[in-house]
Structure 1
């Protein structure tokens, strides 16, 4: 039995749509002019989108629309109206990021298929199963997973799994990157990433106070993914959808990449052993690449993933410069690949004109030849030459989507009944749809020439430049009858038109029942569990929480008896709990200890869950609850620790009241809203009970599987980590001089921190007046003394200004002047640069 797999193509324009469909895509994904994660692509307005659906469905190609941005409270009504339009336009599925809006869609349109975008950071089986329970029929896995992890997820879940197989890579986990927002106001979660990863950086060693000598300056720029030679392995892994990246690429790119993957996939599916010839590989290099990698899919890492040389198209290597003749302005090249007139080269000078072979002027040359080209300036001998524009390849690609050209032909079964004194009837049928037509007049007895089966077959088969061809025809024809050829042709035209109409309509499946069952089951559990109360309104108490990584930071928090302590470092968890136990018994503190689960817990990171399972008996009484950072952790919490409180971290990207309501239904004790939420957006939220906001901390701009310290310092060994990494002494320095500190965990996963520290001490009252009563201080590199000073400043202010209770460290009135004095002391003492984050900024 042939295995069903899907080739999914990116579409940024109508030309790209035609290129994808005509070259064999089973489905396309595209964005409208709003709520799309590629806001700078051409995208489709409503009229074009309707036409795109018609064009695709007629040719058996599905259309998925990306609405995979976080939705602001002020946009909810417009978003819902847009989804209604997409539903009525017969769009096959939506690709979503916002969990609250996904829930809303599920309830309004229970049979509208939804896919979990890679922005939802699904990177484990637990993530996939949670999203399956939510009613998602497909999960787009994080690009960081390898084929073994993907295969494990496929085998243990019922959702379709979609995986990126070709195109640009993000250096950080999608949906977890705040770098573009932190540096400016353009949010990747809102589809407007400014691509800071493609900029120049230096690596700085703060211990040695020197810059590391690196090869290349684009230290965060990944290569492009290319899996063309691994298609068979990917199919065997059980992946359903093979996703090509590139909604901002030209239609020639879409045509070329889709065409080559179509050949490779068909060969594997049909066991036809179509060879992946070198030309196919060369064509993928020629059409666009930033160097290629097999990526994390096949366990590549470090230097095998990155391209520090240049962040844009590298092209296809075609040979080296031999000699430059300055007098005649000619460059001699020894070709290792073909070259044609009109090709573009990485050395500039415009497109290739004449190709000079001795005394002959040619329009093309082949690999192995030594030729000359006209060139305006000196090029050093030995320079590598790359073809960045292949005129022949581009022309070939354009021909596939020219107006009126149909390369994909859908086989039809046809049946025509021509019976005397009755109207003739014609039916066209594909796998699912029927188009039929009836003649205008009844069939008459032939006067001169009777109608033959051969003539009927000839006329019915004239489908011309439609996307159909007759595969099988059943003719029922009475002897000695006749009918006008014009009527036969008209029946053929009408039947095709009717078939078009049927194919455009979507046959939606009802997928809501499982979600209803899951939701009701969850609510029963929560109601039965006396320790968790759904959406309980209580008197608003101002809560100060701290998230910390080190034992020193924990000590400072305990010394000040803060309300909630979110402890983040798994390797220190036992030590932290023992310390907390001592404080609890001796100092009678009131602090609550909450385990802050890691942002990324992949299938192989079972040590985290094993650690928690081992804590169950000895330490569980000390633990108030768990703070989750991804969807899989919610499932883990639900399945294992129903008696504990659930806390939602900011990494679940909450920006609207629908998402807040979703987590309240799950019984969340408190909910930290997105760090990208501004004061204006917060003010629009209807229910702010249980909401928390980060008021202090160096923003974690990016989390990445790539470790620049290990790769660029060349100290890292595969069997031994760079010992310096534990010290967190490295920084990336941007072109404008900002230093972004780097921190590595035990999995060699790197977090990049913002240089400036968000500090909203002066805005606490403002937040409080808006209804926010829970405040988080997020520590990162702070020592005990620095942690204590920061925490004490906030605790004093909240106690004095909001709680009117006893202060901790001095008797000074904490008015604005005193706050300014304290901040200046901190700035001087700890060399911090403070800002107000995005509280007063509107992100795009």
Structure 2
């Protein structure tokens, strides 16, 4: 069996702490580190999170237990939030935070400059899929990267072997359907930004998949086709550990404390067994996985990391528990109801069950259990009891329905009753008559001494016994300590009032705690950003340029004929661009800038193809459109003119500065910004860089590694000319496209700012961007012409009224 690299320690178990109870749960479960969020500056606004004061206490508590703490600050920061954001970092820094998890390039740069000794972990939101991106992130000063969840173990090991940075992966918990950091679905469908931690989870919604007008849900397994199962890598943990991974992360800052305890404990124990060069027993692993399912389960997937390509669970999108059995018989009356089930799990009264009926999943508490007519509190696995449940629930239940155990009361109680593991402390008490009482306390390498004002006395009556002294010292209450060795030195026949002993113990323990924490605490730096880093005057261009993104050569010709100043074309069409003389003449005649766009998702095995195309682009002097850090790095090295695409999620001028320093001459602002927020970014930035913003187009909401349409393709119902969309509530239709076995989903609405061009111009941007990911060439020509007329002062702001059109988030923001 392969051994863990270098036979050092097992990988860190990194657990979620959405609140104080979950923090205690992580300590109980033996976590090595926890991650938490403060306020709204993290990707889980739905968690309780911590106030700055609560964060300080949480950091201290974790450190006293030898646990590292990472602050999740993994959101893009708006221009007006920069001071508040750095203030929270300063508070965490002073409190002794071990690292900050971040995704905003500009804010990373700001924090690194102000706190060079603070470790920064690159969030999975940075979408790290290849070694070139790793090299780019190294230049930002990161010490760890949480790589994309879409990597398999071979890709993971290749990245680990290529860098000295620590690499972390998600090992358990909920999966995002989209590549992280690339999802706009919640923003445009529910006005709640996933990038900002307020995801409405539209991937959990019910959809009907239509191909050329026909409902195809029966071919893909259910009404929740883009809802992911829960990641569980426990059976493949040995394979993950053998890559040399530094940290195994458990998702779940919105889950209960018992979930944190159980998942931390199970992954910790399994990792330690593997790293002791032992193989976990397969039956034991199944039992542990079953325990995880009983606490939270919406189906388990091994994830892309363990080569499970079908990560969805379309049948049902909520947690419903571990499989219990099938209904064999249903009894019902006016006031009572029961179902007969052969149990696949032990079941107790007050447990919770889910029943998957033909209509929907129903839940009920187990009110009573009877076996052979007799009432029992516990029905063992393998038995066939009647489970007595609510008569209302049983109305829809039929023979053969699947039943699940969704609340195992005993397991939850067991997790809740786990003791918080305490830190062992050795005490030495020195007591000699007419001398001051002295107590030394030591934990690990730290030792403190407390000298009491009290002078030890001769006993006038009964002396203070060794048992009394020991008993007082052991009373450590709710401190994080437990007495290990207690040594008494000095005379035996002495008297010390028990109150004095108690005070002395309390004082020495407080000193020990202070000394343990002082190695973490730092002096705050309180950096102050300029009160206003805006220019005194607004930047308003004399005339806006017009850029057009198209999907093919004919679209490019239509754009060129209709007045485009800049045309974006997929980079894999390079040869067609070069060989089409008609397009070449139009480009030359109209002095059009051509930008060849590369995808924002590039895995290691795809790098070579795109690097070759970059070489061709350089020889012809074209610009590239880049939304991926690794490609940005390559282009900068090759001195190719570059546009930073919206995939970089530009929310502030600091990010603009970082991209400009790495070769971007123009950037496309995030469509999640309002017009006022765009103006803030432009005014605070260097005017030597151009800004571009979307004025028309159906937005790409997400891209996923999951091949949603594969079952349809395999059955011959879909080809590249097919019309595919997901329909939600009979109103919203989201177009679906298959690209290289990945899935791309677009918005049901089209941003159209034709009537609001002046508002866009007043933000100070330089380029209006029109996007046509799927539209006809005729549509391209019509829309481009209309915008061009307005920009030339020759047209009217007139657009046909349509429910499909929207103004995006420009007047609402997120």
Q: If the TM-score is normalised by the length of the shorter chain, which range does it land in?
A: 0.7 to 0.9
Q: Deviations over 1:699-742 (max 9, x none)?
A: 0011111122113x2626xxxxx793422521111114222111
Tell me which residue corresponds to 1:322: 328
Alpha-carbon shift at residue 434 of structure 1 (Å): 3.8
Tell me which residue corresponds to 1:529: none
Alpha-carbon shift at residue 673 of structure 1 (Å): 0.6
**Is 1:769 the counterpart of 2:775 in the alignment?**
no
Tell me which residue corresponds to 1:387: 405
Pick one of 649, 653, 664 that aligns with 2:649: 653
How many residue pairs get aligned? The number is 774
Contact 2:15 2:260 in 1 (8 A): yes
Tell me which residue corresponds to 2:531: none
Pick one of 428, 437, 455 that aligns with 2:441: 428
Q: How far apart, CA to CA, are the structure 2 residues paired with 1:162 and 1:76?
A: 27
Tell me which residue corresponds to 1:369: 383
Tell me which residue corresponds to 1:606: 607
Q: How far apart, CA to CA, are the structure 1 residues paired with 2:513 and 2:298?
A: 41
Pick one of 480, 484, 497 that aligns with 2:496: 484
Tell me which residue corresponds to 1:213: 218
Q: Deviations over 1:512-562 (max 9, x none)?
A: 9xxxxxxxxxxxxxxxxxxxxxxxx99866322222221212222344563
Contact 1:30 1:65 in 2 (8 A): yes
Tell me which residue corresponds to 1:358: 372
Alpha-carbon shift at residue 832 of structure 1 (Å): 8.9
Alpha-carbon shift at residue 508 of structure 1 (Å): 7.7
Alpha-carbon shift at residue 399 of structure 1 (Å): 0.9
Q: How far apart, CA to CA, are the structure 1 residues paired with 2:274 and 2:195?
A: 36
Q: How far apart, CA to CA, are the structure 2 residues paired with 1:788 and 1:621?
A: 30
Contact 1:111 1:509 in 2 (8 A): no
Q: Secondary structure at the match of 1:789?
A: helix
Contact 1:740 1:752 in 2 (8 A): yes
Tell me which residue corresponds to 1:795: 788
Q: Deviations over 1:398-426 (max 9, x none)?
A: 112xxxx43x1334466666789875654
Tell me which residue corresponds to 1:551: 553
Q: Secondary structure at the match of 2:366?
A: coil
- Change in 2 beyond 3 A, CA 1:155/1:459: farther
Q: How do 1:429-578 and structure 2 match up within 5 A?
A: 429-431=442-444, 433-441=446-454, 466-469=479-482, 477=489, 484=496, 486=498, 490-505=503-518, 507=520, 542-560=544-562, 562-570=564-572, 572-578=573-579
Gap runs ≥5 in structure 2? 1-6, 356-361, 526-538
Contact 2:439 2:451 in 1 (8 A): yes
Contact 2:70 2:101 in 1 (8 A): yes
Tell me which residue corresponds to 2:636: 638
Contact 1:31 1:67 in 2 (8 A): yes
Q: How far apart, CA to CA, are the structure 1 residues paired with 2:410 and 2:142?
A: 43
- Change in 2 beyond 3 A, CA 1:587/1:97: closer
Contact 2:93 2:118 in 1 (8 A): yes
Q: How far apart, CA to CA, are the structure 2 residues paired with 1:94 and 1:293?
A: 29
Query: TM-score, normalization: structure 1?
Result: 0.85
Pick one of 732, 754, 762 that aligns with 2:747: 754
Tell me which residue corresponds to 1:839: 810
Alpha-carbon shift at residue 766 of structure 1 (Å): 2.2
Q: How far apart, CA to CA, are the structure 2 residues paired with 1:581 and 1:623?
A: 19
Tell me which residue corresponds to 2:773: 780
Name the stretch that deviates more: 59-68 or 453-462. 453-462
Tell me which residue corresponds to 2:106: 100
Gap runs ≥5 in structure 1? 513-536, 717-721, 802-812
Q: Deviations over 1:244-270 (max 9, x none)?
A: 111111112222222222221222233
Q: How far apart, CA to CA, are the structure 2 residues paired with 1:744 and 1:794?
A: 30
Q: How far apart, CA to CA, are the structure 2 residues paired with 1:756 and 1:62?
A: 45
Contact 2:15 2:264 in 1 (8 A): yes
Contact 1:725 1:743 in 2 (8 A): no
Q: How far apart, CA to CA, are the structure 2 residues paired with 1:723 and 1:106?
A: 52
- Change in 2 beyond 3 A, CA 1:175/1:349: closer
Contact 1:9 1:27 in 2 (8 A): yes
Tell me which residue corresponds to 1:515: none
Alpha-carbon shift at residue 194 of structure 1 (Å): 0.9
**Is 1:583 the counterpart of 2:579 in the alignment?**
no
Contact 1:593 1:623 in 2 (8 A): no
**Is 1:310 the counterpart of 2:310 in the alignment?**
no
Tell me which residue corresponds to 1:522: none
Q: Secondary structure at the match of 2:173?
A: strand
Q: How far apart, CA to CA, are the structure 2 residues paired with 1:224 and 1:174?
A: 16
Q: How far apart, CA to CA, are the structure 1 residues paired with 2:632 and 2:431?
A: 65
Contact 2:157 2:243 in 1 (8 A): yes
Q: Secondary structure at the match of 1:739?
A: strand
Alpha-carbon shift at residue 581 of structure 1 (Å): 9.5
Contact 2:211 2:717 in 1 (8 A): no
Tell me which residue corresponds to 1:629: 627
